[in-house]
Chains A and B, each alone.
Chain A
Amino acid sequence: DTGVSQNPRHKITKRGQNVTFRCDPISEHNRLYWYRQTLGQGPEFLTYFQNEAQLEKSRLLSDRFSAERPKGSFSTLEIQRTEQGDSAMYLCASSLEAGAYEQYFGPGTRLTVT
Chain B
Amino acid sequence: TQLLEQSPQFLSIQEGENLTVYCNSSSVFSSLQWYRQEPGEGPVLLVTVVTGGEVKKLKRLTFQFGDARKDSSLHITAAQPGDTGLYLCAGGHNNNDMRFGAGTRLTVKP
A residues within 8 Å of B by Cβ? 4, 35, 40-45, 48, 55-56, 91, 93, 97, 100-108, 110
Knowing A91-B42, A108-B42, say if A101 contacts B101 (CB, 8 Å): no
- The docked-state distance in angstroms from the alpha carbon of A48 to that of B92 is 14
- The docked-state distance in angstroms from the alpha carbon of A102 to that of B81 is 26
- The listed residue (B30, B31, B41, B45) touching A107 by CB distance below 8 A is B41
Give the Cβ gap from B9 to chain A, nearest Cβ, in Å: 8
Knowing A42-B102, A44-B100, say if A101 contacts B92 (CB, 8 Å): yes
B residues within 8 Å of A by Cβ? 2, 4, 30-31, 33, 35, 40-45, 48, 88, 90, 92, 95-103
> In this complex, what residue of A is CB-closest to B103?
A42
Q: Are A48 and B96 in contact (CB under 8 A)?
A: yes
Query: With a CB–CB cut-off of 8 A, which chain B residues contact A91?
Result: 42-43
Query: With a CB–CB cut-off of 8 A, which chain A residues contact B35?
Result: 105
Q: Are B45 and A42 in contact (CB under 8 A)?
A: no
- The listed residue (A40, A48, A93, A101) touching B31 by CB distance below 8 A is A101
Give the Cβ gap from B38 to chain A, nearest Cβ, in Å: 10
Query: With a CB–CB cut-off of 8 A, which chain B residues contact A108?
Result: 40-42
- The listed residue (A41, A44, A102) touching B33 by CB distance below 8 A is A102
Q: Are A45 and B99 in contact (CB under 8 A)?
A: yes
Give the Cβ gap from A39 to chain B, nearest Cβ, in Å: 10
Q: Are B43 and A43 in contact (CB under 8 A)?
A: yes
- The docked-state distance in angstroms from the alpha carbon of A106 to that of B96 is 19
Q: Are A43 and B95 in contact (CB under 8 A)?
A: no
Q: Are B96 and A56 in contact (CB under 8 A)?
A: yes
- The listed residue (A35, A40, A48) touching B102 by CB distance below 8 A is A40
- Other 14 A-B pairs with CB < 8 A, given A91-B43, A103-B45, A105-B45: A4-B42, A40-B102, A41-B2, A43-B100, A44-B100, A56-B97, A100-B98, A101-B30, A101-B92, A102-B45, A105-B43, A105-B44, A106-B42, A107-B41
- The docked-state distance in angstroms from the alpha carbon of A97 to that of B31 is 15
Q: Are B95 and A100 in contact (CB under 8 A)?
A: yes
